[in-house]
Amino acid sequence: MLMQMFKKTKNLHLERSYRAPLETVWQAWTEPDMLRQWWGPEKTFVPECEIDLEVGGKVYIVMEAGEAMGKYQGTRWPMAGTFTRIEEPSRLTYDARSWTEGDEEGSTIQHTNDVTLTENDGMTVVHLHVTITDIGPKAKMAAFGMKWGYKAQLDKLEKYLSTR
C-alpha cells in the first residue's frame, strides 16, 4: 500500500496565516540570514544557506539534525534547486531535489515548491503547494513525512515572525 502511494505524483497543499507584513514574510523566504532561523522542523538547524534570487538562480539549503535528535544528530539533508518563477513580493517557485547526505543516489526526492503570499487585514497568508515528482528507493518514508515536516517548518516560521 505505501509503495503504491508513491508511484504517482504526490501533491501537498498547506496554508498558514501570519500576523506580519507581506514584505517581512517575503524576506523570511528569500534572505538567507532570515531563512536559516526557521527552516526545517524543530531539533534541526541550517548551517548552510545560499539564495540567488533570480529566475534560473540557485537555492541551496542544508538542514542538520541537532543534538536533541539523538542517534540522528549530525545527519544532514541538503536541498538544491533552481528558481523558475519570482514575482516579488508575492510568489516564489523553485524546482528542487532533497536528499540525505552520503546517500544522494538512493535518497533523493525531486519536488517543485510554489509559495504564494497574500496580505489581508494585517495578516499574510502563505499558500505552499509542493509537487513531489520522483522518490528514490530509500526515500519513501521521508517523502511520506514531508507534509509533517513542512507543517513543523511553518510553525517555526510563525515563532520567528512573532519575534520580529
- What domains can be seen in the chain, in order of their start residue? 10-162 (3.30.530.20)
Residue range 72-117, pLDDT digits in tens: 999 999 999 999 999 999 999 999 999 999 999 999 999 999 999 9
| CA 106-110-115 angle, 5° bins | 150
List, in order, residues 6 or more apart from 108 with CB less than 8 Å away: 97, 98, 99, 134, 136, 139
Q: How confident is the model at residue 3 (pLDDT cuts 50, 70, 90)?
A: very low
Residue range 127-159, pLDDT digits in tens: 999 999 999 999 998 888 899 999 999 999 999
CB 49 within 8 A of CB 58: no
Task: State the Cα–Cα distance between residues 43 and 30, nearest whole angstrom.
Answer: 22
Count other C-beta atoms under 10 Å from residue 63's C-beta.
24
Average pLDDT over residues 12-23: 97
List, in order, residues 6 or more apart from 118 with CB less than 8 Å away: 22, 90, 124, 125, 127
Model confidence at 4: pLDDT above 50: no
Total H helices, total E strands in the chain: 6, 7
